[in-house]
Amino acid sequence: MSVITEKEIEQRDADTTEEILQYTPGVITDYYGTDDRNDYFKIRGFQATTYRDGLTLGSMRGVREEPYAYERVEVLRGANSTLFGPADPGGSVNFVSKRPKFERFGEGYLSYGSSHHVEAGVDVGDTLDEDETLAYRFVGKFKDSEREYDYSRDDDQFVLGGLTWEPTAYTAATLIFDYLDQDNTPNSGGYPLDREYDRSDFFGEPDFNYHDVERTSITGLLTHDFDNGLTLQRTHAIAI
């Protein structure tokens, strides 16, 4: 098993799931080259089953997961992947959402780059009461960008809000809401081999070649420690 932490994701400046996983043993990424419509990766030569907080996401869903949403990514190889239930022979990947902490913290960033790339992000949280039984977390990211070819766009909006109630040291309940909106021009077509062309040339139809994704999800997590080595964990999620 391999775990890619939030610190590693930040140090690598990973913008996609493929960039998070590309240094993980037994994992290959980007095997479709420039096709950026999905997160493409395999474990030990097999398509990997993906999960979020222990619940299945499926494979090649037309959604590229947002790395800024996760505090770690867990990669289980081989038969260990069946711990989550149905899984592919090679293994599975579990994305763990950022959750509230019972401490004050915060960070933000602003970046500008080529192709008119403008991006901003924020990640803040704190306790909400003196007894420290309630905590919140807010994560947001906004990107307005183009790509190196004509008629392209690479826009991304993401918001995550979390609330944790911990009445005792043994029981905790967390509710997470997140919204993802991606609007981009996929670079999944072929290129002619019999002539020279400029890197900015676009070989598609602007009104047809686009990839828009909008997803809203709500996740509830409940944990209770019976203080005898037995811990109950329950997760429910809905996405629209």
For the stretch 75-122, pLDDT in tens is 988 876 666 666 678 888 999 999 999 999 999 999 998 888 999 999
- Determine what percent of the chain is predicted with pLDDT higher than 90: 50
Contact 71, 98 (CB under 8 A): yes
CATH says 2-97 is which class?
mainly beta
Using DSSP's 3-state secondary structure scheme, residue 17 falls into: helix
Beta bridge partner(s), residue 239: 217
Contact 27, 75 (CB under 8 A): yes
pLDDT value for 106: 96
The angle formed by the CA atoms of residues 140, 15 and 207, to the nearest 5 degrees, is: 85
Beta bridge partner(s), residue 140: 122, 159
**Is pLDDT at 142 greater than 90 in this prediction?**
yes
**How confident is the prediction for the chain on average, in pLDDT?**
87
Distance between CA atoms of residues 236 and 219, nearest Å: 6
pLDDT value for 171: 95
**How many residues comprise the chain?**
240
For the stretch 152-177, pLDDT in tens is 888 999 999 999 999 999 999 999 99
**Is pLDDT at 11 greater than 80 in this prediction?**
yes
Average pLDDT over residues 180-185: 89
For the stretch 33-58, pLDDT in tens is 666 777 888 888 888 888 899 888 86
pTM: 0.85
pLDDT value for 65: 86
